[in-house]
Structure 1
Amino acid sequence: MTGVRQDERDTGGLPGARTERDASGLDPADPTSAVTPVTPVTPVNRSPRVHRAEEADRKTICRLLDVAFEQDPVSRWVFPDAARRAVAHPRFFEIVLDAAWRDGFVDITEDGAAVALWLSVPAEVPETASSTPEAADTAEGDDMGQRIQAVDPGNERPEIVGRLTRARHPHDRAHRYLMFIGVDPERQGDRLGSALLAPALHACDRDRVPAYLEASSERSRALYTRLGFDVIDEPVELPRGPLLWPMWREPRAAPADR
């Protein structure tokens, strides 16, 4: 799966119509909703505040991700049957949430309307790097893969997504991987996505650590380009499904460092 999800609408250019917005809550029509690529990212000093999620936030996070990704093109490809998707989604997000807490961190807005799941990925030498944290070659990773398979028995598509994205995921440098970011559909356009990502990207700049994600549409690719991410490979092509663009962000230098 990927760190970027869609809630796109075709406005037809009509005045006053709703513009396309990524499920992250970033508004491509609003220049203040993205960070310019010439300066380091700094935390957003306005509400809603962002804090590190804890176990007490579990139900809120899983419910939010379920709603935010209900109509996502990749989720619909992985779980094409709506009834099965309704059952599998909450279980799936429980698993990836556990992975983020184990190997990374989870940021959430104080009102519970936006959440981002990050993994801290160590550098691996090519000879031994057979996978990324989506399905790592450790006992924990194997257990995660088995748990995901049990979410929808007989469905090979979760494994297909993992295998294809693993083939493109960089492994030669330590980095932070944005697995998922979701915003309550009722809060689309409230700039929650940029507010949510700013502290994590600021930390990447401060710690001199790159970031990585997969964008699930040309629209989201443009949004994340504004945040300093660059496409680093050809898109991942899901069989008769949507494309996923691998994107990488180098840490930005502070003004004093330039």
Structure 2
Amino acid sequence: MGVAIRVAGEGDRELIVRLLDEAFQDDPVSGWIFPDAEYRRRTHHKLMAAFTDSVFADGRIDLAEDGAACALWLSVPGEAHVKKGAEGEDGTEGEDEAVGLRELVDPDNERVETIARLMAEGHPAGTAHEYLWMIAVAPARQGEGLGAALIRHVLERCDREGLPAYLEASSERSTKLYERLGYSFTDNTLDLPDGPRMYPMWREPRS
């Protein structure tokens, strides 16, 4: 049976933040950002809320109709990608989004800023593509194919329109799912200082 999918609206914000918070509590990258488990339970949702608001502003969030899974997407244009934390195109110092994220989420936690910078610096430039920022499935519903259905929902459009797609897998184990969907590891990991690796993956459109 297919998965009913709709575009999320602002009224779904609380649900999406909760999904992301629950799904990523035990993720290796989240564990690196917030090493203390009790502190992570109290604070992690703030980072997920910031990500949710950013995608509501600049992208699109797809939501399984039953509320059990969501996917956060950004459509990245083909012109030069302006990296977060970098100077603006006119050479003036633009707003440092990595610093702003740390100050919003956890002001004394430099790892919030570090992860934002590394992801921005590693993002491919020069080719329009669909970027899967995050995907979350409620822990009790994992293994049912909901995540794959949400991703295919966008990849089918990518194939029709000839668009590549990009993501960063947060563990080597999760790369296997993405490989089945046509993504390939780019051969360059994002190495968190004294922490886990992330695996950038690229997918060319299928004809």
Using structure 1 for the length normalisation, give the TM-score: 0.73
Within 2, Cα distance between the matches of 1:49 and 1:141?
Answer: 38
Contact 1:114-1:184 at 8 Å conserved across structures: yes
Counterpart of 1:197, as a letter, is I
Query: Once superposed, which parts of structure 1, at least 4 consecutive aligned residues long, lie more than 4 Å away?
Result: 135-141
Within 2, Cα distance between the matches of 1:228 and 1:193?
Answer: 14
How big is the alpha-carbon RMSD for the aligned residues of Structure 1 and Structure 2?
2.1
Q: Residue 236 and residue 147 in structure 1: after superposition, are their counterparts in 2 closer, same or farther (change >3 A)?
A: closer
**Does the alignment pair 1:219 with 2:188?**
no
Match of 2:196? 242
The answer for unaligned runs of 5 or more in structure 2 is none
Within 2, Cα distance between the matches of 1:87 and 1:237?
Answer: 26
**Does the alignment pair 1:178 with 2:132?**
yes
Match of 2:120? 166
| Cα distance, 1:130 vs structure 2 | 4.8
Identify, as 1 or 2, the structure richer in helix: 2
Within 1, Cα distance between the matches of 2:189 and 2:162?
Answer: 26
Contact 1:234-1:246 at 8 Å conserved across structures: yes
Using structure 2 for the length normalisation, give the TM-score: 0.89
1:48 is paired with a residue whose SS is: coil
Within 2, Cα distance between the matches of 1:181 and 1:140?
Answer: 29
* Identity level (%): 48
1:1-258 alignment runs, 5 A limit: 46-125=1-80, 129-131=81-83, 142=96, 145-253=99-207
Contact 2:27-2:170 at 8 Å conserved across structures: no
Within 1, Cα distance between the matches of 2:185 and 2:143?
Answer: 25
| Aligned pairs, number | 203
Q: Which has the higher contact order (CA 8 A, sep 6+)?
A: 1
User: Which is higher, the Rg of structure 1 or of structure 2?
Assistant: 1
Contact 2:115-2:192 at 8 Å conserved across structures: yes
Contact 2:98-2:116 at 8 Å conserved across structures: no
Within 2, Cα distance between the matches of 1:240 and 1:141?
Answer: 28
| Cα distance, 1:47 vs structure 2 | 3.7
Deviates more, 1:225-234 or 1:84-93: 84-93
